[in-house]
Structure 1
């Protein structure tokens, strides 16, 4: 018995993958027996893998588009991001250091800390960005010297399977990474609860994240559980720039990005012009066949997901929001949608809505903007547009999020900075260097400055 993987746009059957039982997952974990390579060897494997990903860019892009429905323009960028993350991890593999601490309270003593691999890392990844979401977990785990048991999304596992084969071709030792596929409750639960797994890194929804954390109780966890990210536009911002960031951030990956623009908060003095520009720009977005290189917005992952998006749009309109563009759907394809005057208590903006929707909420003053931005259970990232640095710093200090971007949207990212949130958005930080630290344990050695003095009275 297996799971059939289908193209979410055409319904075409792509493959049938295995559904692992809990005992089979345990066997795969037990087989992860490789000794950690040296930092130089880890760096070499990751560097070679980065080059291979770049050379096979079209192959990976085609597969991501086929199994996720994300349009080709974006999957090509995803492949480039994944290769870049591998290159950063390769460099960081040789920079993972400890520190020396002179012990002032113990004469003649020195402490040295060493960052050792956590051991076996359980990595559970979501359906959106099926290559890069895998890379941002495997690359730091391997750079830090760990072994990995990987469970990709049951909706988009094919890219992960291809990538792990590529790692093996790049020289990754046998017994370093295993991939297990199947139902989240069975496979993810077996990974999180396994006594042979030393830490768990998970990206997905809050409900699944809580289940993983419960199953992994007593182990370190790194949880990225989504966001409801605002783009806060003050009256002194440039409306053309704001509209571009709003539309690109809301419609990228068909709106299925945890750091995408989920809410546009517009101050009264700019709101009318901004909304008009957002609608104008939204009308230029081509939606349809994700395999067409001219398409900007492809389908969402399933008909169930598409129906949820349109239901929330209809609910917001019923509560007083103005539907200015879009709102329709055909199967898994949701039309890029713009709404104005969205009530702050509409489900569309209270919950994380994974779909190509740009909902505008108007505000009068900074205090109201801060209250609106903080009003959901999430706290991942935010973008703030203003030329007033004092205002930005005031707002940034009061926003309950992991990252605040000035002059950019919440969707800005870089492999060199920490990524993660507060409240319901999760625990811990990703970003290559920061994830590597989370995937190590600190061992402390204490010793005399002069070894010959040890044991002498």
Structure 2
């Protein structure tokens, strides 16, 4: 009999998670179960009490607690279970790419090393500027990247000295609560105050609203669509909003077209196009278009040429209002989407491409599925101008393939996106095959950019008059 080891690991983790729900083995004195509470008020109050205790911990302690989170996520059984369960519960993305993303969040999210101290000394003494915690942070996490966001937010927020109350998306409830429990057990073993990372047993809009309104929550962080970002920005509290994107890719005639074709498809199909950084539309100089399409098809793209079939895909993937994707197709594979319109393809097909005009719904709407429209333009300047228009001012992510430094510079200056990837796949912008740290909370609307521990901290000045200038 063949036994699937990953399935066994998943069953074991699920059983352990349910065992952890028992009041006799894991209930906290204040009524929580490994960080999971019945009401939002209980969760926030427990997090506030934990944060007060956390103020007495050393920076060495913080580093140890952050490492505990990294270690529990990187445990192979946990990593496999979280990645598989995320796909199965949300019905979005794919297992192999979830593994990459969860591992990335655990390994490349900055910890306490991000909290650098500034010092100024002179005849009048010594002044230090340091990063201090806000207190309790309320964090709203999406269904598209549920575990990745909890991992990177937990690391960054605890590194900055805060506690955090998570409000997960209801469609990712089980995997999110499982992860919160894993983190709490790991923190307890490391000696951390209980309830630094908490949530509620029944995530809902009502609980999210209660969290945002709670007076003990000092900061709000929303990773999601424009609606929730607008809500937190209207809360009257310090807020970080990580909103939508519609990343354009510009390809000019000087680009390495073979590499561009591969990079674009690799980026577009990554986790079935769920990341907001992923390539959403291609704008290519006409003289390079045919060879680019050839190389995209060579690397797993299926080209749809029949206008009637393209119209059927539009009706399938875009809501009638023409402004939003159909949720049931978000994060689905290219093969699955094509099957729904009667086209049978193999597993080697990773993305669906077609040539469209600029104002086609596939260009204008952020789909978050591996459907990639291609628009031809006469020259690179026209391509840059179009890219700025279709990015819709989100200031999220843009990509350009070119060997012309002047044009690369021009696009970077004019489009003003938080992430600008040159000659690589979009995911290089969050540290996959590119330099730099990672995050799944990319705050274009509020300007923090790629968030890290210092994004979740306050700058404070401490002044000593008349001493410690030893020069």
Q: TM-score, with normalisation over the residues of structure 2?
A: 0.75
Compute the displacement of 1:253 (Å): 1.8
337 and 93 in structure 1: CA distance in 2 versus 1, 3 angstrom threshold? closer
Deviations 1:420-439 (A, max 9, x none): 778xx5223354xx431221
Counterpart in 2 of 1:3? none
Q: Is the 8 A contact 1:188 1:212 kept in 2?
A: no
Superposed, 1:80-229 pairs within 5 Å as: 80-85=103-108, 88-89=109-110, 92-94=111-113, 96-102=115-121, 108-171=124-187, 172-180=192-200, 182=202, 184-214=204-234, 216-217=235-236, 219-229=237-247
Q: Which has the higher helix share?
A: 2
Aligned equivalent of 1:308: 317
Q: Does structure 1 conserve the Cα–Cα contact (< 8 Å) formed by 2:273 and 2:368? A: yes
Q: State how far apart, in whole Å, the 2-side matches of 1:50 and 1:446 are.
A: 36
Match of 1:40 among 60, 66, 74: 60
What secondary structure sits across from 2:373 in the alignment?
Answer: strand
Aligned partner of 1:340 among 349, 354, 375: 354
CA distance in 2, matches of 1:371, 1:94: 39
Deviation per residue, 1:388-432 (Å, 9 max, x gap): 22221122111231121111133321262688778xx5223354x
Match of 1:352 in 2: 366
The structure 1 residue matched to 2:418, chosen from 397, 402, 425, is 402
Decide whether aligned partners of structure 1 residues 263 and 283 sit closer, same or farther in structure 2, where only a CA change above 3 A counts. Answer: closer
Cα distance in structure 1, aligned partners of 2:253 and 2:458: 47
The Cα shift of 1:311 comes to 7.1
| 1:24 pairs with 2:57 | no
CA deviations 1:40-92 (Å, max 9, x no partner) are: 1121122133222222322222222221332222122123213213xx43xx3
- Count of equivalent residues: 393
TM-score by length of 1: 0.77
What CA deviation, in whole Å up to 9, does each residue of 1:152-174 have, x standing for no partner?
11111222222222222222421
Alignment map for 1:345-424 (pairs within 5 Å): 345-376=359-390, 377=392, 378-412=394-428, 413-414=430-431, 416=437
Q: Which residue of 1 aligns with 2:446?
A: 427
Cα displacement string for residues 237-269 of structure 1 (whole angstroms, at most 9, x for unaligned residues):
122211112212222222222011001111111
Residue 176 of structure 1: how far off its partner (Å): 1.2
User: Which residue does 1:293 correspond to in 2?
Assistant: none
1:59 aligns with 2:74: no
**Aligned counterpart, 2:271:** 253
> Contact 2:265 / 2:301 at 8 angstroms: preserved in 1?
no
Match of 2:262 in 1: 244
CA RMSD of superposed structures (Å) = 3.4
Give the secondary structure class of the aligned counterpart of 1:28.
helix
Unaligned runs of 5+ in 1: 1-13, 286-304, 316-324, 452-457
User: Which of these residues, 265, 285, 291, is aligned with residue 273 of structure 1?
Assistant: 291
Rounded Cα–Cα distance in structure 1 between residues aligned with 2:142 and 2:315: 17
Deviation at 1:38, TM superposition (A): 1.9
Specify the SS of the correspondent of 1:374.
helix
Taking structure 1 as reference, are residues 75 and 346 closer, same or farther at Cα in structure 2, changes over 3 Å only?
A: same
Conservation of the 8 A alpha-carbon contact between 1:310 and 1:329? no
Gap change, CA 1:182 and 1:258, over 3 Å in 2: farther
Separation in structure 1 between the aligned mates of residue 80 and residue 321 of structure 2, nearest angstrom: 36
SS of the residue corresponding to residue 259 of structure 1 reads coil
